[in-house]
Chains A and B, each alone.
Chain A
Amino acid sequence: MIRSILRRMTGGRWPGLRPGEQLSCPEVGRSLQRFLDGELPDDVEVESLAAHLEECKRCGLEADVYRRIKDAIEHRRADVPEESVQRLREFGQRLAEGA
């Protein structure tokens, strides 16, 4: 608990998580987006957060909703026309060959 408060006071910088240490729900809330984006640099925090999401229904539900939001947005991605990519690569290739 004290470690959790200290982490909150230092913006999550100190003290670092110990392996197996529990994260609080507010801590999970602060790191959830970076976790879902694969942008959490600390493997211990990734494991602790994943374990918390397994056990905590409230945080697990939020994570699930945000995953679905990301999924819905990601699938708006349009395929770029392969011929456009190819044409631009060929253009670059000609540059490199000094044509």
Chain B
Amino acid sequence: MSDEVSGDAAFERYVLPEVEVMLRVARSLTRHQADAEDLVQDTLIRAYKAIDRFDGRYPRAWLLTILRNTHINRNRRRRPELLHDPDVQLERASQSLSEDEASRPDRFIDLEFDAEVESALQSLSSTFGEVIELVDINGLTYAEAAEVLDVPVGTVMSRLHRGRKKIREHLRQTGVAPTYRDLETGRSQ
């Protein structure tokens, strides 16, 4: 960290503006609002302790790396039986989707298209789904998603593109979004 900026000032300048992004990503990782807030709080503490070693470049990527490592450490500390208890998993899944999350009245909704995208998303493996969630829902860049997942940027691109391709193929098969070739040959709709 530059001598001109104290650690506390650097923390305020680089870390606090990223709280909302950290909370979004934490929710993607934990699937649970309360856990996400705890995770961000732990991340803030770790970031504060490490701020003197931060060089001031790419604060979001730096914070996402801390967030990911904190998440991994928290999971290691948890009791294994709790993690594998299906009732606990079910409860977490149901709590992760609050009622107001689905509705955005300020938007034209193509119900059929959206429903099929949702269906395709649900059928994706977590390998593809988590990348799509980080980039398309949380708005991370490829490089930032790579930090969160601890994989190369090329892997993020590959998983993202393959995941979207699977969704696109689902839309073609269900006739919601035929390809140009389908339209030419009259195979769909």
Chain A residues with CB under 8 Å of chain B are 33-34, 37, 39, 57-58, 61-62, 65-66, 68-70, 72-81, 84-85, 87-89, 91-93, 95-98
Residues of B6-65 at the interface with A, using a CB-CB cut-off of 8 Å, are 8-9, 11-12, 15-16, 19-20, 22-24, 27, 33, 37, 40-41, 44-45, 48
Interchain CA distance A55-B100 in the complex, whole Å: 41
Q: Are B141 and A61 in contact (CB under 8 A)?
A: no
In this complex, what residue of A is CB-closest to B177? Answer: A65
Which residues of the partner chain A approach B160 to less than 8 Å between Cβ atoms?
33, 37
Which residues of the partner chain B approach A72 to less than 8 Å between Cβ atoms?
110, 113-114, 117-118
Which residues of the partner chain B approach A39 to less than 8 Å between Cβ atoms?
141-142
Q: Are A93 and B16 in contact (CB under 8 A)?
A: yes
Contact count band on B: 35 or more
Q: Are A97 and B137 in contact (CB under 8 A)?
A: no
Is B150's CB within 8 Å of the partner chain A? no
Interchain CA distance A74-B183 in the complex, whole Å: 27
Which residue, A61, A79, A88, A98, has most C-beta atoms of chain B within 10 A? A88
Q: Are B19 and A98 in contact (CB under 8 A)?
A: no
Which residues of the partner chain A approach B135 to less than 8 Å between Cβ atoms?
37
Is B161's CB within 8 Å of the partner chain A? yes
Interface pairs (23), CB distance under 8 Å: A33-B157, A39-B142, A58-B181, A65-B168, A65-B171, A66-B168, A68-B113, A69-B164, A72-B113, A73-B121, A73-B136, A73-B137, A74-B136, A76-B137, A80-B24, A84-B37, A87-B37, A88-B41, A89-B19, A91-B41, A93-B16, A95-B44, A96-B48
Which residue, B23, B110, B117, has most C-beta atoms of chain A within 10 A? B117
Interchain CA distance A76-B139 in the complex, whole Å: 12
Which residues of the partner chain A approach B157 to less than 8 Å between Cβ atoms?
33-34
Is B179's CB within 8 Å of the partner chain A? yes
Is B148's CB within 8 Å of the partner chain A? no
Q: How far is the CB of A41 from chain B (nearest CB, A)?
A: 11
Q: Are A95 and B45 in contact (CB under 8 A)?
A: yes
Interchain CA distance A16-B156 in the complex, whole Å: 24
Q: Are A78 and B142 in contact (CB under 8 A)?
A: no
Is B78's CB within 8 Å of the partner chain A? no
Which residues of the partner chain B approach A81 to less than 8 Å between Cβ atoms?
33
Which residues of the partner chain B approach A57 to less than 8 Å between Cβ atoms?
180
Interchain CA distance A32-B44 in the complex, whole Å: 37
Is B66's CB within 8 Å of the partner chain A? no
